[in-house]
Structure 1
Amino acid sequence: MSALDTYAAKRNFDVTPEPKGELVEAVGEQPSFVVQKHDATRLHYDFRLEWGGVLWSWAVTKGPSADPAEKRLAVRTEDHPLAYGGFEGTIPEGEYGGGTVMLWDNGWWEPLHDPDEGLKEGKLHFRLHGARMQGGWALVRMRGNRKGDGKRENWLLIKEKDDFTSRSADALTNKHTKSVTTGRTMRAIAAEKPAVETAPKHDKPLPRFRAVQLATLEDEPPEGEGWQHEVKFDGYRCLMAIGKGGVKLYTRNGKDWTDRFGDLSEPAGAIPCGAALIDGEVIAGSGGGDFGALQKALKEGGKLTFYAFDLLHLDGEDLTEAPLSDRRAALEGLLSPLPPRGPIRLSPVLEGDGDAALAAMCEVGGEGIVSKKTDAPYRGRRTKGWIKAKCIKRAELVIAGWAPSDKRGRAFSSLLLASYEGGKLVYRGRVGTGFDGETQEALMAAMKPLARKTSPLDGELPSETRGAKWLTPKLVAEIAYTEFTSEGRVRHGVFHGLREDKPAEEVSAGQELAVESGAEDAMDDDSEVKIGGVRISSAGRKVFPDAGVTKADVARHYEAVAERMLTYAADRPVSLLRLPEGLEGQTFFQKHAGKGWPSSIKPLPIEEKDGSTEDYMYVASAAGLMGAAQMGSVEFHIWGSKRDKLDKPDRLVFDLDPDEGLDFGDVKAACEELRAGLDAVGLPSSPMVSGGKGVHVIVPLRRTATWETVKTFSRAFATILAERHPDRYVATMSKAKRKGRIFIDWLRNERGSTAIAPYSLRARPGAPVAVPVSWEELARLDAPNGFHPSDMESRLSRPCPLAEVQPKGITAEVVAALEDWAAGDAAEDVAAAETAR
């Protein structure tokens, strides 16, 4: 019986224009998905996923919603042929599904687990890469619905929380009312009108978001020729992508704010090109912009203006390597047909040298200027090719708490400010002006859910913070000020609004403090140095801007820890997390070396599950670690086995991953419970703070058992602990089940899986390092990300705690002990383990 028999039986292909279709055996590397708006007996949207040579299909009664709180009913229907993914037209009245069908969205989908198992179990999790539907989604079968029980099979289509969510339940379907392929409305399709030839025809792929170039703050503009000077706007940085599928508007960090900047989508769609990626700034109104006014405009739907100042991509061609002068000429040509005072405008270039341009801008009450090298390429990071100089000093700072007010009608007297420097939250003073009653109410509403009892600040607190109400540091404020004091605190600060386009962890006052003190960067982005005999290009590039850690510093870290780190990372298949443009740019996870890679990163042929062989990589020397750093690598993720015995692991890893809301004390308690259980079965262990939010408990092994044995043991151990304490632990990846619990991740213990290597940097704000610690030391630590490159010298002067644990094998005795432990009482095991120690 064919999977398409039901589809064929329901249709008379002599009458309906729908494709007969055939079962297709092969699925491409990027399986397709399609959504068809279907005006049958009742208007609905048919959601289809390509798998197994057919399109799995669901009828979504109200259409997909990008609001995670809106769960849409999706009724499972018969499988459709792949050819149906291109069908748009009208099914005759009286035929099955009679009515108009529009191709509403299409693209490809990325399963996050085995789709066949997910369909069988009633839980499908996936990412969509479409013109309209993007990001994480889930299909969940409702209880009481099982295939074959004679009832219709009801599922729920749910959007997962990510950068592609919407605050409006019907934003997707209300916004997109035309065919994604022909541009026709439902009425035009029913009337058999031809495809709409839109002018312009955006017929090239929509450019992807890329990291934006950032300006370096200086106290005055650069001198000399070869610079152009532009207005510094007070708004939100925005990348405007135009191409097939419409318009996307991204923040500086890649968040899709198309819905929030919605009024700009239509005028952007009128730009005559096949595709384009334009860099610019969104402001309120049409003047120089005011951040407070912008916040109000976004909230109330006020007028927005996009000032374009750079062109990164045009009609399929990457322009970032071209000099600014050429990019600017292309941008001017592209925007020339647009009205000069419309919602999309060219950023004006100011006449005269930098000092004159800045003086003119300050005279009219502007914020400052940005000076740009006219012969420089575009770089997706902070460089000295762009220099900003301000009339009014401003900084982005984190709100760490607030001081109560004794005045009637005033919610608070001041906000307490901070910034992240080297991974630590540093106090930056208070701001008590700039908010009216309405602003104070809005701020209190935003702060209330973040209340905490203890200070989030590091270091000793000044007396002015007494009586403060503390917050979890999530909110970012824009503050105007006259100067930073010698203690590093703002003087005469004025609140200008909350920023939603920058995570708190990325907020640093390093540039502002450097300008105040007259300090300058010692190394330029394009400088080159040799470290450990390895050439490091772009040595001054800031990989961790908040911590001031450059690409050269990353290489120096790996030079310093090489001997210790190679004890655990050498001669193993390794995957690298690369940040070619630093923490603020795009990241790449790479397990196969590319052309032009250093010879110190060696190939390792490994047979895959399908019988093919792929070249993985491994390092065996300090030169290999630094060679990886030269290629922009920050993190090293290693297999649990070495290349001479790939199928015999020599370590077992449990990653304790806490749900949001749990603190580090909960994680440490879980580590002790895990340790007690491992001791009870005869396996000594050692903890490693991951540099993220959790802890890895590592068990060194003798190389006697296979991957299957190690995987089975780790899964059983984690499951037993989770079943024993279901209120504290979970042993499955399900996000829904992890609420308020710690996920005991045992999945790293199978062939091909990796875990972060000891002494590896982590690609997180502050440049934390994954460090093995003793059990006694773990009990004293305040956080799992408290070690940084500057701590390594003292760390390496003492033995590594992980090296002091003797490897054991997963023997028959250990398995028997596991069975006894499963049947025993946890409290007795903890006591027994304490006695044994």
Structure 2
Amino acid sequence: MAKAESESARLSAVEADATTTRSRARRGKQADTGRLPERLSPQLATPVEQPPAGEWRYEVQFHGYRLLARIEKGEVRLFNRHHTDWTDRLKLHAEALTQLDLGDSWLDGELVLLDGTGHSDFPALRQAFEIGRSVDMVYFLFDAPYLNGVDLREQPVEERRAALKNALKNNASKRLRFSEAFSASQHDIFESASALSLDSVVGKRLGSPYVSGRNPDWVKLKCRLRQCFVIVGFTRPQGKRNGFGALLLAVNGPSGLVYAGRVGTGFSQSQLKQLHEQMCAQERETSPLDQPLKGAQGRGVHWVEPTQVCEVEFAEWAGDGLIRHAVFLDLPGDSQANRVVREQPMPIKAAAPKPKRRTKGDTAKVDGVVITHPDRVIDSVSGVQKAELAQYYLDIAPWILPHLKLRPVALVRAPEGIGEELFFQKHADRLEIPHITQLDPRLDPGHAPLMEIDSIHALVGAAQMGAVEFHTWTATHDRIEAPDLFVLDLDPDPSLPWSAMLEATRMTLSVLDELGLQGFLKTSGGKGMHIIVPLARSEGWDTTKAFAKAISQFLTRQMPQRITATMGPKNRVGKVFVDYLRNARGASTVAAYSVRARPGLPVSVPIARDELAGLRNAQQWDMQTALERAKGLGGDPWEGYSHRQRITARMWEQLDAQKPTD
């Protein structure tokens, strides 16, 4: 799979708009009716991290073989994406296309094999190809660059697809289908894909032409990633398996091949045998990697010449630069090993606003608070502007203010947007925020006053000064030395699947249940979950923090392979860190309903315990959906939160821990 570097500069909204304008100008002319080209390279989608703004239609991302059909004077030829002729292998599909009685055409689509749920099954498709059984394969058609002798490449994608759908209206073959699109807003696309059980989708910009190669008019949103790797070695098989155990993979880096991890599943028996024979013939004494592998990674490896390429599907790139949960897909014979690099999904960035001289009109009012630079883009992924962020905090005030009142607050400020420098502000010394309350300086001796947000005006005023996140202490300022809650922040290794996060959350809740304590859940808006435990004001900071630490250590003893109580990336590899350190004096945790200064501006949202099973990730809600959820709640997800609980001597015993002495 080629890396989409050459098009990265075109991903700004300004250049995309310019492209669309030029395309529309060209489409003002009559469509060409020239000779059908002999070859046609398919249009490819650019990987992106977030749904782009604008008008798009989304289609299923099929996991199969890209297939283009060339029809000239009634003769149908079928080609894969590299222009290898597959007509003889797919005679039934060629015959079905012949029955459509189309004029000279180029059609674009994907050849798949569907499972019992209607989803594409790539391993089954590959196996069917191995045995030459094409009868159950389905050719999903989604575009028509040429149709009935007319060159449609400059026509808008929606018009090309409408013409294709009309051409297929009399299709009677089960082996041909039109790939239907579904509509979803920028904010709802992941939810829509989840509802359809899709692990990836392709978006196509309305009004865009058909352009061979990769460009940002087609985008690919994946739940799982997929790309080519260079095979640099293999391990011995385990148990009853023949051939080899796993392939060692690499990509080309600045100074040579860089290790990228292993893949040990997804092979057919014939592939195990074929690959093993090929690799045995290419064995070498030394590693072809730029940097040698250390420890267990390099133990027992058979190194091979780095000439063979394989395609792999995987969950993600972990922080250590290795892929996780990899599955072997195929051997693309025409891929060149020296061109295989790590493919990076590219965020689609909004155009930077043009500098202009400020005037009185460059302001807006939100609940009477003057918002300067109201159109400043706070987040390039969502396109949210400063005035919109302030409006969110005005609208969410009835739900967020109860979590802010009486508590010292810290702010994460992004005056120029979250892509620029961020400031974490605990005290009122940096600048004067409109309507904010400055607390008694004696609460935090030696510093400027702590701050409190106790009104709508203060909340909106903080947004005016660039505040995105609101963090609160676990004590109120009227009794600052007696915390009235403690927090367990479950922070996972990024390589872990979401199911591991849910498992750790359930385990923590079970321990609290055994102790007789009720915990309340909220998404962090980042990677993990927060569990809040309300307390009576009977203990001080040291005791409360020690109790939270005892729970974290108890969980570690119960599940040492999955949970850790020790901070630091090295201690968290493959585990969930149950962070108790947010319970120290002066520490803070992001408040419920606060926006997070992350791409897409997710929101930390309280949930009921019975909602946990349906939770998809820690960034499930953004500003729009969090507000809609809050307004539509039939009941309080934190019912019983006002009940204050005590830490008892028996709880210390159950955790096999000692209460600190004064």
TM-score by length of 1: 0.41
Tell whether 2:347 aligns with 1:507: yes
Which residue matches 1:805? 641
Change (3 A) 1:594 1:778: same
Which residue matches 1:757? 591
Q: Could you tell me how far apart the structure 2 residues matched to 1:451 and 1:630 are?
A: 50
Change (3 A) 1:442 1:819: same
Tell whether 2:387 aligns with 1:560: no
* Contact map agreement 2:535 2:645 (CA 8 A) in 1: yes
Letter in 2 for 1:646: I
Q: Could you tell me how far apart the structure 1 residues matched to 2:637 and 2:599 are?
A: 26
Q: Percent identity?
A: 30
Letter in 2 for 1:532: D
Change (3 A) 1:568 1:509: closer
Which residue matches 1:681? 515
Within 5 Å, give how 1:469-618 maps onto structure 2: 470-472=313-315, 504=345, 507-508=347-348, 527-594=362-429, 597-607=432-442, 612-618=446-452
Q: Could you tell me how far apart the structure 2 residues matched to 1:796 and 1:498 are?
A: 49
Pick from 34, 48, 53: which aligns with 1:398? 48
Letter in 1 for 2:576: I
Three-state SS of the structure 1 residue aligned to 2:555 is helix
Three-state SS of the structure 1 residue aligned to 2:551 is helix
1:420, distance to aligned residue in structure 2 (A): 11
* Contact map agreement 2:490 2:530 (CA 8 A) in 1: yes
* Contact map agreement 1:693 1:784 (CA 8 A) in 2: yes
1:427, distance to aligned residue in structure 2 (A): 2.5
Deviations 1:242-292 (A, max 9, x none): xxxxxxxxxxxxxxxxxxxxxxxxxxxxxxxxxxxxxxxxxxxxxxxxxxx
Tell whether 2:526 aligns with 1:692: yes
Letter in 2 for 1:685: G
Pick from 500, 514, 521: which aligns with 1:666? 500
1:820, distance to aligned residue in structure 2 (A): 2.7
Q: Could you tell me how far apart the structure 2 residues matched to 1:217 and 1:582 are?
A: 21
Change (3 A) 1:583 1:216: farther
Q: Could you tell me how far apart the structure 2 residues matched to 1:661 and 1:525 are?
A: 49
Change (3 A) 1:606 1:498: farther
Q: Could you tell me how far apart the structure 2 residues matched to 1:411 and 1:667 are?
A: 44
Change (3 A) 1:683 1:543: same
Tell whether 2:77 aligns with 1:427: no
* Contact map agreement 1:677 1:821 (CA 8 A) in 2: no
Three-state SS of the structure 2 residue aligned to 1:542 is coil
1:452, distance to aligned residue in structure 2 (A): 13
Change (3 A) 1:446 1:432: farther
Structure of greater relative contact order (alpha carbons < 8 Å, 6+ residues apart): 2
Change (3 A) 1:629 1:677: same
Which residue matches 1:780? 614
* Contact map agreement 1:398 1:474 (CA 8 A) in 2: no
Deviations 1:545-574 (A, max 9, x none): 211211111111111111211111112111
Give unpaired runs (5+ residues) of structure 2.
1-11, 27-42, 50-60, 68-78, 85-108, 112-119, 121-183, 191-200, 205-209, 216-226, 232-248, 253-259, 267-310, 319-338, 352-358, 658-662
Q: Could you tell me how far apart the structure 2 residues matched to 1:525 and 1:217 are?
A: 30
Pick from 714, 726, 734: which aligns with 2:548? 714
* Contact map agreement 2:363 2:370 (CA 8 A) in 1: yes
Change (3 A) 1:599 1:510: closer
* Contact map agreement 1:654 1:697 (CA 8 A) in 2: yes
Which residue matches 1:796? 631
Which residue matches 2:55? none
* Contact map agreement 2:406 2:477 (CA 8 A) in 1: yes
1:605, distance to aligned residue in structure 2 (A): 3.5
Three-state SS of the structure 2 residue aligned to 1:637 is strand
Aligned residue pairs, count: 390
Q: Could you tell me how far apart the structure 1 residues matched to 2:82 and 2:229 are?
A: 9
Q: Could you tell me how far apart the structure 2 residues matched to 1:592 and 1:411 are?
A: 64
Letter in 2 for 1:671: T
Change (3 A) 1:803 1:527: farther
* Contact map agreement 1:525 1:538 (CA 8 A) in 2: no
Q: Could you tell me how far apart the structure 1 residues matched to 2:261 and 2:48 are?
A: 16
Three-state SS of the structure 2 residue aligned to 1:667 is helix
Change (3 A) 1:606 1:677: farther
Change (3 A) 1:434 1:650: closer
* Contact map agreement 1:695 1:784 (CA 8 A) in 2: yes
Letter in 1 for 2:203: R
1:796, distance to aligned residue in structure 2 (A): 3.0
1:395, distance to aligned residue in structure 2 (A): 9.2
Change (3 A) 1:711 1:421: same
Change (3 A) 1:503 1:536: farther
Which residue matches 2:288? none
Which residue matches 1:767? 601
Letter in 2 for 1:508: I
Change (3 A) 1:573 1:441: closer
Letter in 1 for 2:583: N
1:527, distance to aligned residue in structure 2 (A): 3.4
1:700, distance to aligned residue in structure 2 (A): 1.2
Change (3 A) 1:445 1:749: same
Letter in 2 for 1:794: R
Q: CA RMSD in A?
A: 4.7
Deviations 1:666-685 (A, max 9, x none): 11111111111112112111
Three-state SS of the structure 1 residue aligned to 2:381 is helix
Change (3 A) 1:509 1:642: closer
Pick from 438, 448, 460: which aligns with 1:626? 460
Three-state SS of the structure 1 residue aligned to 2:470 is strand
* Contact map agreement 2:525 2:604 (CA 8 A) in 1: yes
Letter in 2 for 1:601: I
Which residue matches 2:564? 730
1:217, distance to aligned residue in structure 2 (A): 3.9
* Contact map agreement 2:45 2:214 (CA 8 A) in 1: no
1:800, distance to aligned residue in structure 2 (A): 3.2
Deviations 1:297-316 (A, max 9, x none): xxxxxxxxxxxxxxxxxxxx
1:793, distance to aligned residue in structure 2 (A): 2.7
Q: Could you tell me how far apart the structure 2 residues matched to 1:663 and 1:432 are?
A: 36
1:578, distance to aligned residue in structure 2 (A): 0.9
Letter in 2 for 1:781: L
**Structure number having the greater strand percentage:** 1
Q: Could you tell me how far apart the structure 1 residues matched to 2:655 and 2:617 are?
A: 30
* Contact map agreement 2:550 2:655 (CA 8 A) in 1: no
Three-state SS of the structure 1 residue aligned to 2:518 is coil
Q: Could you tell me how far apart the structure 2 residues matched to 1:607 and 1:738 are?
A: 38
Letter in 1 for 2:407: R
Three-state SS of the structure 1 residue aligned to 2:554 is helix
Pick from 643, 652, 667: which aligns with 2:486? 652
Letter in 1 for 2:379: F
1:423, distance to aligned residue in structure 2 (A): 7.9
Q: Could you tell me how far apart the structure 2 residues matched to 1:420 and 1:440 are?
A: 31
Letter in 2 for 1:398: V
* Contact map agreement 1:686 1:775 (CA 8 A) in 2: yes
Q: Could you tell me how far apart the structure 2 residues matched to 1:571 and 1:648 are?
A: 13
Give unpaired runs (5+ residues) of structure 1.
1-213, 222-354, 360-392, 455-467, 476-496, 512-523, 824-837
Within 5 Å, give how 1:77-476 maps onto structure 2: 216-217=14-15, 219=17, 397-398=47-48, 403-404=64-65, 421-422=186-187, 424=189, 427-428=202-203, 433=213, 470-472=313-315
Change (3 A) 1:215 1:510: closer
1:779, distance to aligned residue in structure 2 (A): 1.3
